[in-house]
Chain A
C-alpha cells in the first residue's frame, strides 16, 4: 500500500530555514511526481511546488520562487522540501502528496503532515 511518512514537527526562529522529509513506500518512487502543499492554522490549502524524483526537475509556485528548494534521494525513496528566510506567515502544516498524473495533477496520496512553527 502507498505510504508517505513525513518528518516530525519543527520550531524555527524567523529568518531560519526548515527542511521537511517525506519517505515514500508501496510504489515506484521515481514514477510519480512528489508535490508539496501547505496549510496555515485554520486556513485552506496552498500548492507550493513539486519535484520529479526521476530527474530531480522542479516546478514552484511563483510565491515561493527563490525561497524553496526541493530535492530527493532515490536510494532511500525520500523527498525533501526546504524553505528559507522563514517568517511567522510560514507557520503551517506542510504536506507531501503524490501527484496522480505527470503534468498538471491532483493528489491521490498524502503524508500525515509536518507542523512547522515559526516563532521568536
Chain B
C-alpha cells in the first residue's frame, strides 16, 4: 500500500503567519492527493482535492501544490480557526490511505 508521510508532526505558528505542510508518498500518486482539516471532536473536512483544487466553500488562503511524490499545503495567513490537524490522502491506488497528520498549533 502507498504510505504517506507528513511533516512536520507539529507546526507552531502565530495568527497571520504562513503555514507550509508537507506530504510525501512512498510512490508516485500522480496528482491524486487530497488534504483535510480536522478540529477536535469534529469530522474531517475536505480542503483540497487532486493536489490543487479547492473544495466547495474553502477560502482562497488554502492552496495545494505538488505532483508525483511530494505535495504541499499552504495556508497563506493563518486565521484563528485554522489551528487544527491536517491530513493528506491518496486516491491513486487501493487501499486509499492517509498520512499521519500535521498539527498546526498556536505559538
Contacts and interface: CB of A to CB of B under 8 A. Distances in A.
Contacts of B91: 101, 104-106
Contacts, number: 55
A42 to B, nearest CB: 10
Nearest to B44: A110
A113 interface: yes
A117 B83 CA distance: 28
Q: How large is the interface on A (under 10, 10 to 19, 20 to 34, 35 or more residues)?
A: 20 to 34
A29 B43 CA distance: 20
B98 A46 contact: yes
Interface string A49-64: 0000000000101110
Nearest to B55: A108
A35 to B, nearest CB: 8
Interface in B34-56: 34, 36, 43-46, 49, 55-56
B49 A110 contact: no
A80 to B, nearest CB: 18
User: Which of B34, B55, B56, B96: most chain A CB closer than 10 A?
Assistant: B96
A52 to B, nearest CB: 15
Given A44-B87, A44-B101, A61 B95 contact: yes
Contacts of B97: 47
B99 A95 contact: no
A21 to B, nearest CB: 16
A14 interface: no
B58 to A, nearest CB: 11
Given A44-B87, A45-B87, A45-B89, A106 B98 contact: no
11 contacts: A47-B95, A59-B94, A62-B95, A95-B44, A100-B46, A104-B32, A104-B91, A104-B94, A107-B46, A108-B46, A110-B43
Interface of A: 35, 44-47, 59, 61-63, 95, 97, 100-101, 104-108, 110-113
Interface of B: 32, 34, 36, 43-46, 49, 55-56, 87, 89, 91-101
